[in-house]
Chain A
Amino acid sequence: MKDVASQIRQGNRLALSCLLTWIENENPEGRAALDELFALTGRAFIIGITGPSGSGKSTLVNRLAIQLTGSPQTPQSVAVLAIDPSSPFSGGAILGDRVRMRDLMEHPEIFVRSAATRGALGGLARAASEMVLALEAGGFDFVLVETVGAGQSEVDIACLAHTTLVVEAPGLGDDIQAAKAGILEIADILVVNKADKNGADTAARSLAAMLEIGADAAGLNREEQVTWKVPVLKTSALNDEGIDELVAAIRQHRTYLETSGEWQRRSQIRLDDLFERLLREKLFAEWKRNIQNRKYEQILGEIHTRKISPYQALKQFRA
């Protein structure tokens, strides 16, 4: 495809789609197009949706995206990046989030893209951060990022999104009490989905209690605590209930971000993160190219046979 950057600026969706593929494949043409488009990024409101597998993230995104488009007279546009895990064995993936996003398929203001993690462990796709840049350049007002079903350590989304929703649900088997500390800490808004089912009230109460303990323990966050209290909201994505309240809370959080300076801070963290990752990859690749023939493999071999420890091995290399 020719001149992808200018076609994207003109609103060509096929060009955008093509760029997303290039970015995922770390293709140099994709990087060149992003160079051209980068100045257009930084305007979208990025919302992360994370939480355990099966809690209803995709079903909720289906409702949320439509709600966010607002009035048909002055519609807002919404992009969705839906992430599912790659198989560690084959490297392939089944990306099934679209099954629950039927209502978004033919909405003129909504664009949905599925992505596989491709080896990344933090709950996002390897190139998620750059894919979001491309979607921003596509002119979307909102970018919703659905992570893989997350337990507790897949918290990279917090460094990408302005606002992170953690979606829990009653009856997922594992007791909600089983402190999913990591994942609760990143919540700006806690959603108890499947409120149509038994146990939703209990789940909401125990989550609210856990949040309070967490907030007390994290003395560092006192200041934020004063200005933003993480709300616990009940929704039924299935029955389209509680979505208005959720959107209202999202808008409140945005106001909080903007008035507190957090908006800018979070927007920057995301770029810092991306740049640091790229730099690390580049330096490592260059360094490896420059070290003596086979020395790297040799030293790995010595570690394998327990001749030297990994720390001792480090000393044999110079930056």
Chain B
Amino acid sequence: MPAAVTAANVSDDPQKYEIEHVHSVYEEIAPHFSSTRYKPWPIIAQFLASLPAGWVGLDSGTGNGKYLPLPLDRPGDVWTIGLDRSRNLLEIARSAGAKRREVVWGDVLDGPWRPGVFDYAISIATIHHLSTHERRREAIQRLLECISPLHGRALIYVWAIEQDDLSKRSITSAQPKAAISVQEDISPAGQDVFVPWVLSAQKSLKSNGARESSASPRQSPQEDDVEGTQEAKSKVFNRYYHMFAKGELPTLVSAAARGLGLDVGDPDDINQGGGTRGIQIVQDGWERSNYYIELRRWEK
């Protein structure tokens, strides 16, 4: 059953809006959501596999913590700390991969860390839940600030307007994004949409139970089959997403960096007159309905 995506209009108070259309939804659907999220994406797995032993990193918006155990073939060589707004998802993330993980309850717009303390940061399928351009830029700035100014690396994934043919979702409304606020440095504009999550009444009870008993993770993929089977009892949660346009993510990352006084480019190409601190975009692209960008910080 394809889940239809509909256009969303962000209200005046983006924080309140996200509490209603993102955070409270994940609190409710946590165990069911987690049961459908168990396969790491290849580029993310490669990124984490490339990290040297001894590095520590942040997974900002860790969800069920599926990236915390990686790389699987070198367990414990690096430590990834998971941060999320959903307490119920953290209860699952804390034992991702059947081992104890480090998780912190917090907001991706906050930086409760020693500045530059991490060697790397990842933000996977998270920044697209922020409902204004400014808030998405701030979230990226928090990532840039928490990694080492000398060698810090980061990888960001967001949902794309350009959808894979294999995607289960069909876009029923593709209107241009309404102007929410002044967006001076955004040329490619994405779209604000709702993506439904169908939770059966049975699952809903389970999720309540899970909250009270801090349940262990349920990883069985067959739990994903509830959609459409119990229409009468099921409840639909609409999650807010900002679907990114082509070119929007690198533009946003560059704006975030410049806002912190960082240059954008290869340090070897930035001549006299350029700054002494910056970021370099290592790769950016599209993979299976998502845009990604990898960057590193440099200082000279």
Report whether chain A binds chain B.
no
Interface of A with B (CB < 8 Å)? Answer: none
Interface of B with A (CB < 8 Å)? Answer: none
